[in-house]
Structure 1
Amino acid sequence: MVFSDVFGKSASSIINLILSNDTYTSEEILSKVHGRCKASHEDILSAIDGVTLDAHQKARIEIVKNHMEYVDSLLCKIQKHIDEMIVGYENYIQLLCTIPGVDRKSAITIISEIGVDMSQWSSHHKLASWAGLAPGCNESAGKKKSVKISRAGVYLKPCLVQVAHAAVKDKDYDYYANKFNKISKRRGKKRAIIAIARKILVAIYHMLKTGEFFNPSDMTDIETSQKKRIEYIKNNFKNAFNQLMRTELSSEEILAFLPIKSTDSPLKE
């Protein structure tokens, strides 16, 4: 109730003093408190006042303390082993850290899952599907049904979602924040986060493939080909032209809105 971290430096020092068979004073207790500790001295002494532990209680606490120290030692060994394994991937880690929201730990997790050789996927669409971030396409008789993502990427997908949350909150680089705001207005915040996570994975794919730093001019240039964008613009123009035709406007009147001469337009034919 006094210390935010029971296994912190101050709390551990006080516990070790209590577990010892030596008598202790209030001054000795306060000498174990770190200078940055936010708890007041009165609260600390009040929490310790009246504490009496018999030999069996001290033994059980000592067993728990030894177990925690053993787990911490294993974590240190694992971290040392990880540091040795990623020596050859340091350049790739630094490359991924240029992406907003990606820190060193996230970069290591991503590389450990997908590697650095992107030739194993024919496109970023395949990688997004493998990671479980590709939206479903379930349509029958013109009716769209569930578009839930798959359960794939049990380790990679949670990592990318955490990165997406950090990216949309990045105040120094608001690229993904703007994307998130636009998507969330139409599809909701949960779908928007998944969309941002997919965009980050697409960026990682192209960065590892080309070795370029994160500097997107426009994400549509990567995710959508020039041919598809032209078809999309053509369809929008045809729909707008048909809507104007329904208002009983003639073709000449409609072409008058265009910033070109009607004689040069192929629509006149």
Structure 2
Amino acid sequence: MEEITEEPVGLVERVCAVDIGKAELVACVRVPHVSKPGRRAQEVREYATMTSSLLGLADWLHRQQIELVAMEATSDYWKPVFYLLEAEGFECWLLNAKHVKNVPGRPKTDKLDAVWLAKVVERGMCRPSLVHPKPIRQLRDVTRYRRSLVREQSREKQRLEKILEDAQIKLDSVISNLHGVSGRQMLQAMIDGQRDPSVLAEMAHGVMRRKIPQLREALTGHFDDHHAFMCAAMLRRIDALAADIAQLDTRIEQLIAPFAQAVRQLDDITGVGTRSAQEIIAEIGVSMSAFPTAAHLVSWAKFAPIDRQSAGKSKASSTGKGNPWLAATIGEVVAALARTDTFLGERYRRLVRRRGKKRAIVAVGNSVLTIIWHLLSDPDARYHDLGSDYHDARISKQRRQRDLVRQLEHLTGQKVTLQPRPELTTAA
């Protein structure tokens, strides 16, 4: 190893930093110098990212008695290296590349990047990113894939609706669920060759039979063999996706079983169903040890606006880009809450009037994440709704009084002072 002459300021004595690529990586080990106290020694080696080479890297790190291995989150290339070294017993840190960016204007190579990263880590100038344990990672893979398939299924349904519009079939204007029992039976009959609107309309079931006259008009169009071919292909794709989603649901039930208590806790929150609870747990885990306070979780999820101020002036700011999968789930929860007669529902309606829909979603999502943190931090905690009249009972009366006084002062141009009525003072 070559001798390093800078002054010792290290917090981690024996550290390894890895600059990762798809086919190879560069590892820099920094340890105390053997014969010169207070000095550091470093060595840089290159390894392929194949399993045998990574095992050779692990052997080298064991011989060097490495305490900490750090690497940047480079695409998905970090995963095999991180997981293998973690399984070998090393403490591994995954670092955000923005937090450990090299100084501009200096040469940039894989070797120099690894050396710089090792220096940053040994001095305690960075913090590790959240990496969930293996059970949560597996659950997250399945829930994310399920959401992807649900989105793809929705796109196929939209494509089917466009084909029907092209054929002047207005079925989705009369039926709320085109893929329900009645809708699917009519679609299949048209694909099989039945084009008579009266016959098709008679296939309606239940309360849908009240709309038979409207169905006849909606089913009158120019649906031909071309439309039948396209619809048949799309329906096969929709059904295949539905079968895959059902299999994923079964797998998720198996993976979520150890966390059933946490699912029940989150399911108590109005707007959070079983599926939303599963997705939330898959993204943030069940242990809140990574988040010392609820504010840390909210900030990590990017549901907390960032203050930007310069020269005494506040500038436009945003929450930043966080976990898109978690944000999608929280957005659905807020959309469901907005239609409920609850504290959070009323909070959304109050905010959307003054601040707009986007800011209201962020603010209520902030509240939802705060509640989630408290529930997962205490297994015995239970959610209790404060009620939709919470603000009216505590805030609105005083605010209404203040607004009326201001309006009266504006109309009269005089100062208004409120005094209790004499009869109330006497009674008291």
| TM category, shorter | 0.5 to 0.7
Deviation, 1:210, is 0.7
The 3 A distance-change label for structure 1 pair 183 and 76 is: closer
Deviation, 1:214, is 1.3
Equivalent-residue separation in structure 2 for 1:110 and 1:192 (angstroms) = 20
Question: In structure 2, what is the equivalent of residue 160 of structure 1?
Answer: 330
What pairs with 1:228-239 in structure 2 (closer than 5 Å)?
none
Q: Are the aligned partners of 2:304 and 2:362 in contact in 1 as well (CA < 8 Å)?
A: no
Q: Are the aligned partners of 1:176 and 1:196 in contact in 2 as well (CA < 8 Å)?
A: yes
Which of residues 201, 205, 216 in structure 2 aligns to 1:34? 205
Q: How large is the RMSD of aligned CA atoms in angstroms?
A: 3.3
What pairs with 1:53-68 in structure 2 (closer than 5 Å)?
53=224, 58-68=228-238
What pairs with 1:79-228 in structure 2 (closer than 5 Å)?
79-171=249-341, 173=342, 175-180=343-348, 187-188=355-356, 190-211=358-379, 212-215=381-384
Q: Are the aligned partners of 1:2 and 1:39 in contact in 2 as well (CA < 8 Å)?
A: no
Equivalent-residue separation in structure 1 for 2:348 and 2:218 (angstroms) = 47
Deviation sequence 1:101-159 (CA, Å, 0-9, x none): 22222212211110101001222222111101121021223222223211112121232
The structure carrying a bigger strand percent of its residues is 2
The 3 A distance-change label for structure 1 pair 62 and 138 is: closer
Equivalent-residue separation in structure 2 for 1:149 and 1:110 (angstroms) = 19
Equivalent-residue separation in structure 2 for 1:187 and 1:149 (angstroms) = 15
Equivalent-residue separation in structure 2 for 1:27 and 1:179 (angstroms) = 49
- Describe the SS at the equivalent of 1:208: helix
Deviation, 1:31, is 5.4
Deviation sequence 1:137-193 (CA, Å, 0-9, x none): 21223222223211112121232233234334421x3x2245446656765553233
Equivalent-residue separation in structure 2 for 1:204 and 1:61 (angstroms) = 43
Equivalent-residue separation in structure 1 for 2:235 and 2:357 (angstroms) = 43
Q: Are the aligned partners of 2:197 and 2:219 in contact in 1 as well (CA < 8 Å)?
A: no
The 3 A distance-change label for structure 1 pair 204 and 31 is: same
Equivalent-residue separation in structure 2 for 1:155 and 1:126 (angstroms) = 18
Q: Are the aligned partners of 1:132 and 1:151 in contact in 2 as well (CA < 8 Å)?
A: yes
* Alignment gaps of 5+ in structure 2: 1-169, 387-428
Question: In structure 2, what is the equivalent of residue 234 of structure 1?
Answer: none
Question: In structure 2, what is the equivalent of residue 78 of structure 1?
Answer: 248
Q: Are the aligned partners of 2:181 and 2:205 in contact in 1 as well (CA < 8 Å)?
A: yes
Identity %: 24
Using the TM superposition, name which of 38-47 and 83-92 deviates more.
38-47
Equivalent-residue separation in structure 2 for 1:43 and 1:63 (angstroms) = 27
Q: Are the aligned partners of 1:207 and 1:213 in contact in 2 as well (CA < 8 Å)?
A: yes
Deviation, 1:52, is 7.7
- Describe the SS at the equivalent of 1:86: helix
Question: In structure 1, what is the equivalent of residue 171 of structure 2?
Answer: 2
Alignment size in residue pairs:
213
Q: Are the aligned partners of 2:279 and 2:329 in contact in 1 as well (CA < 8 Å)?
A: yes
The 3 A distance-change label for structure 1 pair 159 and 52 is: closer
Deviation sequence 1:67-91 (CA, Å, 0-9, x none): 3322222222222222222222222
The 3 A distance-change label for structure 1 pair 53 and 125 is: closer
Equivalent-residue separation in structure 2 for 1:192 and 1:53 (angstroms) = 47
The structure carrying a bigger helix percent of its residues is 1
Q: Which amino acid aligns with 1:86?
A: I
Question: In structure 2, what is the equivalent of residue 267 of structure 1?
Answer: none
Q: Which amino acid aligns with 2:206?
A: G
- Describe the SS at the equivalent of 2:337: helix
Equivalent-residue separation in structure 2 for 1:168 and 1:27 (angstroms) = 41
* Alignment gaps of 5+ in structure 1: 218-269
The 3 A distance-change label for structure 1 pair 125 and 33 is: same
Q: Are the aligned partners of 1:2 and 1:43 in contact in 2 as well (CA < 8 Å)?
A: no
Which of residues 186, 189, 193 in structure 2 aligns to 1:14? 186
